[in-house]
Amino acid sequence: RLHIIDVIEEYKDVLLKPRHGYGANLNPCLDCKSFMVGKARQWLEQNGFDFIITGEVVGQRPMSQRRDTLPVVARESGAHDLLLRPLCARLQPPTLPEREGWVDRERLYGFSGRSRKPQMALAAESVMAITARLNTSLPCMTMVPPWSQ
């Protein structure tokens, strides 16, 4: 289920007065990431969820996804070790979900660097696996409300 949270007013301060500065343009990446993960943490606490997952990869983005800045996001957002980054988890210390056995660390990845080829290969593999498991007797999603309306 999709939940939309209006953060426009609060985000203006992040955009106009970034604590960690801007990237090459008007992009306060580190501040933005900390803000958004912090909002996710608040929502998690209000709704009884256990942890947060992001798609970050060590070294993918020059400002917010460096080995030295990933802990900054976890700390400043207040998420700490409730923040799981499955695509690069093996390159980071184990998080609470891993230590508690909620997530099998052996099934997580150690992606790093600017190339997105490993993620694209994983996505293609996942789509094929999901497609292979689908029951062909299920109707096409365009035949099911609300998409059919």
The answer to whether 109 touches 98, Cβ cutoff 8 Å, is: no
pLDDT in tens, 28-45: 888 989 999 999 999 999
Q: Grade residue 79 by pLDDT with cuts at 50, 70 and 90.
A: very high
Record the tokens describing residue 2, joined without a space: 């999709």
Cα separation, 113 vs 108, whole angstroms: 16
Cα separation, 73 vs 78, whole angstroms: 8
Record the tokens describing residue 27, joined without a space: 């992009």
pLDDT at position 10 is 93
Q: What share of the chain is helix, strand, coil (3-state, %, to 5)?
A: 45, 5, 50
pLDDT in tens, 90-133: 999 999 999 999 999 999 999 999 888 998 888 888 876 666 65
- Angle 80-84-88 (CA atoms, 0-180°, nearest 5)? 120
